[in-house]
Amino acid sequence: MHSNTGYEALPMAGGRQNDRAGGLRFAQEAEKQNPEDSLPPPVEVVPWRMRERLKTMDVGLVMCLNIGTDPPDVEKSSPCARKECWVDPFSMPAKKALETIGNTLQSQYERWQSRARYKQSLDPTVEKIRELCVNRRRLAKHDRVLFHYNGHGVPRPTQNGEVWVFNKSYTQYIPLLVYD
């Protein structure tokens, strides 16, 4: 059979000229194959859960808010977020606001893990944080300890892994290495 292009049509097996090449030929070949031959080898299923289950039984909640004083390295834009744990710290006296925020944070964690032991440390000094960490670790034994640190009232953490806390008279910011 000749066409206007000068090319002769190729004879096809089975006499179907519309199936010259492409999808139908490959589909017909696929039908002839055994479906089990084309399946990938079975994949070994590895359990994703840990064999030994760890529990988080102790939680240290550290809040360095220093309500009413902005840290030296932070410029707050206007408007800016003001609430901590859905509590406006400027709607009540600073000490009362700090306690309310700490209690609200603890109640939020208790919804997730009601059996854990919680210890709040509000605007702590270096010594108080170290004492909190040592006590939480001792009580937890081989379980996990969650350390929640909110430093919105102190300078930002350093490149060396230090967070900032207060001195005893709350007049200076003291760096505390997270590793310690």
132 or 24, which is more confident: 132
pLDDT at residue 11, as a whole number: 55
| pLDDT (tens digit per residue) in 101-125 | 999 999 999 998 899 999 999 999 9
Q: Is 56 exposed, middle or buried (0-12, 13-18, 19+ CB in 10 A)?
A: middle
- Provide Rg for the chain, Cα atoms: 33
Report pTM. Answer: 0.67
Higher pLDDT, 32 or 60: 60
Domain ranges of the chain: 56-177
